[in-house]
Amino acid sequence: MNTNKKIWLSSPHISENEQKYVKEAFDSNWIAPVGPHINLFEEELSKISENINVAVLSSGTAAIHLALVLLGVRRDDFVICSSFTFSASVNPVIYQGAHPIFIDSEKETWNMDPVLLEEAILDKINKNQKPKAIILVHLYGYPAKLDEILAISNKYEIPIIEDAAEALGSTYKGKPLGTFGDIAIYSFNGNKIITTSSGGAILSKDYDMIEKAKFLATQARDDQPHYEHSEIGYNYRMSNVCAAIGIGQLEVLNERVKKRRYIHDFYNHHLSAFKEINFLEELPGYYSNRWLTTIILSENAKINREDIRLMLLSENIESRPLWKPMHLQPIFKNHTAFENGVSEDLFNRGLCLPSGSNLIDTDLSRVVNSIKNLYEI
């Protein structure tokens, strides 16, 4: 049994202020999905950009689900989805009884391929099945090709749900991710760049839409002294205690982004000598929070992804393959996909390295030296 300290892929990183805000919540007895810390957390989040309205929720998945509801997605509608992502980006489409259409990635950002996106839209329009929405993911905090994708969205008048679950703190041409879509979402799950234990947020420039999200997230209770319901609602509101954690976390967001980018640069610097190991480089105008540092092994590499992952595991170091594309998942095998082979290739050759902002240089050196030792065997 390996007795080395466990190095996690991306564990929660708590600062000093969260306990102060949580104590306030307990002392004031606001232990409910309503309270002053929810209001303050939403107010602080809204400062990421002008004219952004925010509702904090129980998860990023809940935020995507509400976004679909707000856009009127219903049974047998079609929704275009990034294929190279986590299943939570897609599952809410199934909740609504709709059909996901998967779009493969392009090589420069690993995100949704604009060429395949337009091809899919035209295909469905020709079949009188125009998609109701596009769920666009910014993978591992790296911005998608927003100019091209927004132009296509506008051309065909299909709204975008911007899945920035992994991308809080990232920007495109100086503008924060999460402010480009008709609706956007963040995740505050325990492994994200900031966390509320579990949680998420839905954002929009449309004030009425976010007010409707808050209404739906609290069981759609009508404005009556008794419990009256004219619509189906959901139990999706964030707890005031979780929001208290979020306030403290948001105060150190810039520090967390800076550290994650430092970690990426550390790995890049120390592993760049190995020509088989490649990193996703930033394009001009793209700024990634580097939520997780990823490596891609060359096609003819003598050591494969699993060799590295299993070796790190033996050293008590957690790593993870890149997301397995949704169009390759058993549960989605019967759904339409527009493929080019990019995401499948990235899945086969890619690995996420430990990237938590609470890692110190000694931890990072352990990871680097373990990989170097594997190449020197």
Domain ranges of the chain: 18-250, 253-376
Q: Which CATH class is domain 253-376?
A: alpha beta
pTM for the predicted model, two decimal places: 0.97
Q: Which residue type is seen at 115?
A: V
* pLDDT computed for residue 377 by the predictor: 59
Q: What pLDDT tens digit does each residue of the chain (377 aa) get?
A: 577 899 999 999 998 899 999 999 999 999 988 999 999 999 999 999 989 999 999 999 999 999 999 999 999 999 999 999 999 999 999 999 999 999 999 999 999 999 999 999 999 999 999 999 999 999 999 999 999 999 999 999 999 999 999 999 999 999 999 999 999 999 999 999 999 999 999 999 999 999 999 999 999 999 999 999 999 999 999 999 999 999 999 999 999 999 999 999 999 999 999 999 999 999 999 999 999 999 999 998 999 999 999 999 999 999 999 999 999 999 999 999 999 999 999 999 999 999 999 999 999 999 999 999 998 85
User: 109-138 burial by CB neighbour count: b if 16+ within 10 A, else e?
Assistant: bbbbbbbbbbebbeebeeeeeebbbbbbbb
* pLDDT computed for residue 257 by the predictor: 98
In whole angstroms, how far apart are CA 4 and each of 13, 270, 296, 361, 377?
Answer: 20, 21, 26, 15, 21
* pLDDT computed for residue 315 by the predictor: 97
Write out the H or E segment, with its range, that includes residue 293. strand 293-297
* pLDDT computed for residue 1 by the predictor: 59
18-250 and 253-376 share one fold = no
Interatomic CA distance for residues 189 and 354, integer angstroms: 17
Topology classification of domain 18-250: Aspartate Aminotransferase; domain 2 (3.40.640)
Q: Is residue 367 within 8 Å of residue 354, measured between CB atoms?
A: yes
* pLDDT computed for residue 32 by the predictor: 87
